[in-house]
């Protein structure tokens, strides 16, 4: 096992601090909650661009723990369940799967599982989704999951575009 370097620890600490800031902002700036949570995902990619998956996992754990201290349980759950692990999963899929066609179905399955886990962890009910009031229960679930999947697919493509751009611009600097 490779020894952890001071540069790796410093980059992980900086990444964790930026991720905590974005998660806290997602709580206090209500109209931009999803934007700041998505930004926290992008921030967690910095150690991976420097070649340190271990640093990204370290930053994710630190950011999740510190965010719990600052804003509490409910606002942090989307970060802990979906937006924090997503960049790590995406990096692993990029590294070990050579076919890009396989990424999206695996990530959609992960996202649906994460959405359902957030639903139960936060304590939501179907009444929290007034858009689907007139549908039967199974129909409500179907519409909610289809809409959330559509939002996730848009997020996935925006994340991938931003990740590729940042890696081209920062990858060489972070690997030094």
pLDDT tens column, 38-92: 999 999 999 998 888 999 999 999 999 999 999 988 889 999 999 999 999 999 9
Please give the domain boundaries of the chain with CATH numbers for all domains: 6-175 (1.10.1760)
85-122 confidence digits (pLDDT tens): 999 999 999 888 877 778 889 999 999 999 999 988 88
pLDDT of residue 102: 84
Sort 127 into a burial class: Cβ within 10 Å, 0-12 / 13-18 / 19+.
exposed
Q: What are phi and psi of 93, to 5 degrees?
A: -65, -40
**CA 146, chain centre distance (Å):** 19
Query: Residue 173 is encoded by which pair of tokens?
Result: 């600097």
Residue 139 pLDDT class (50, 70, 90 cuts)? confident
The pTM of the full predicted model, rounded to 2 decimals, is 0.89
Answer with the residue of higher pLDDT: 174 or 110: 110
Based on the number of CB atoms within 10 Å of its own CB, is 52 exposed (0-12), middle (13-18) or buried (19 or more)? buried
pLDDT of residue 125 exceeding 80: no
28 to 57, 83, 122: CA distances (angstroms): 25, 17, 17
The C-alpha atoms of residue 170 and residue 148 are separated, in whole angstroms, by 31
* Distance of alpha carbon 43 from the chain centroid: 9
Mean pLDDT of 159-173: 88
pLDDT confidence of residue 1: 64
Instruction: Round to whole Å and give the CA distance between 122 and 120.
Output: 6
């Amino acid at each position: 096992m490779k020894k952890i370097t001071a540069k790796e620890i410093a980059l992980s600490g900086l990444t964790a601090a930026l991720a905590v800031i974005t998660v806290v902002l997602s709580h206090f700036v209500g109209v931009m909650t999803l934007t700041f949570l998505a930004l926290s995902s992008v921030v967690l990619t910095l150690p991976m661009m420097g070649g340190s998956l271990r640093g990204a996992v370290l930053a994710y754990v630190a950011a999740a723990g510190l965010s719990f201290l600052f804003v509490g349980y409910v606002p942090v759950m989307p970060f802990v369940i979906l937006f924090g692990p997503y960049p790590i999963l995406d990096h692993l899929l990029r590294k070990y799967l050579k076919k890009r066609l396989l990424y999206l179905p695996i990530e959609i399955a992960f996202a649906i599982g994460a959405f359902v886990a957030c639903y139960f962890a936060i304590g939501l009910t179907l009444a929290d989704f007034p858009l689907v009031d007139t549908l039967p229960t199974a129909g409500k679930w179907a519409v909610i999951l289809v809409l959330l999947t559509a939002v996730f697919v848009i997020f996935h493509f925006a994340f991938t575009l931003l990740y590729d751009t940042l890696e081209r611009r920062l990858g060489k600097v972070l690997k030094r």
